[in-house]
Amino acid sequence: MGMDVGVVSRSFPKLSNKETAELLSSKGFKWTELCFTQTDSNYWVYNGRSDLNDLSNEQSINIVETYRENDIEVTAIGVFTNLLERDEKEAEKNLGYFERLMEIASINHIPYVSSECGFIPGRRGVNADSYEADFQRLVENLKWLAIKAKEYNVSIALEPCVLDVVPSAKRMVDLIDQVGSDQLKVLLDPANLIANNSEVEMFSYLSQYIAYFHGKDRKVNDTYGRIIGDGDIDWPLFFNLYHKYTEGVPFIMEYVNMENFTDVRDQVIRFDKKVSV
């Protein structure tokens, strides 16, 4: 029993796709989440969108093949747009942006397109005066996206977070039930739920829906994440549950950079070796 590890492409914004793929391959990584953040494909905008008119189908194929030629599996295209946008015209543009990235994923036979819920700047999280409307907006947008995802033969991997309108594993299951589509899966980042759920609860609620994992850590009362080992997650327990319920599901690190990504991967392997299954 070993532990394969991936890393998000956005950890290397100063490298081209070829340089990123070759680096990951040379260091023994298996997976990436591709967010088009490299020097020759810089389109990614967190909680927003970019103009994808210059990103042709052919260019996307060349980019994805660059990773595959280096034995790096592209698990997902990272979208991470705002699915809670209240301005109707802007919301429509965000959904169109999401759909274009689903099309790119489909053309390249990439199984998942991933996103957070999104947020209104300055009003992130559960706000009592708008929560129900925000949640319903998310449900309706995901229903529309799920229909498109089925047409493209891809699945949506949604990342719940304590800071957002889906702040727990229980809420995520409820959301999946309300959307009512097999195309909606979970991108589980344990750091995003550790303030509301134990490691056991995360797997208890979500294991059957998990598309892949983000690997980072968090102190329970911190706002932002940390690298693995610097927070409150019980990683030996987490990996015990991983092997028990989700063996082989991609585990893709976040919050690492050129200087530390191999060291953090080695920390993952050390934690994994403490597992007693």
Contact 4, 251 (CB under 8 A): yes
DSSP per-residue string spanning 36-94: SEETTEE---TTS----TT--HHHHHHHHHHHHHTT-EEEEEE----TT--SHHHHHHH
Over its C-alpha atoms, the chain yields an Rg (Å, rounded) of 18
Beta-carbon neighbour count of residue 9 at 10 Å?
Answer: 27
* pLDDT computed for residue 268 by the predictor: 97
* pLDDT computed for residue 275 by the predictor: 82
Give average pLDDT by consecutive 10-residue segment, the chain, 277 residues.
Answer: 88 98 98 97 96 97 98 98 97 98 98 97 93 97 98 98 97 98 98 98 98 97 94 97 97 97 96 80
Residue type at 231? Answer: G
Q: Domain 6-273 is classified in which CATH homologous superfamily?
A: Divalent-metal-dependent TIM barrel enzymes (3.20.20.150)
Which residue ranges make up each domain of the chain?
6-273
Q: Which of 10, 91, 87, 88 is nearest to 45 (CA)?
A: 10
Tokens 């102190």, residue located: 219
* pLDDT computed for residue 2 by the predictor: 66
- Joined tokens for residue 227: 């690298």
215 forms beta bridges with 253
Report how many helices (DSSP H) and strands (DSSP E) the chain contains, helices first. 9, 10
Q: Which of 124, 196, 116, 191 is nearest to 157 (CA)?
A: 116
* pLDDT computed for residue 11 by the predictor: 98
To the question of pTM greater than 0.85 for the whole model, the response is yes
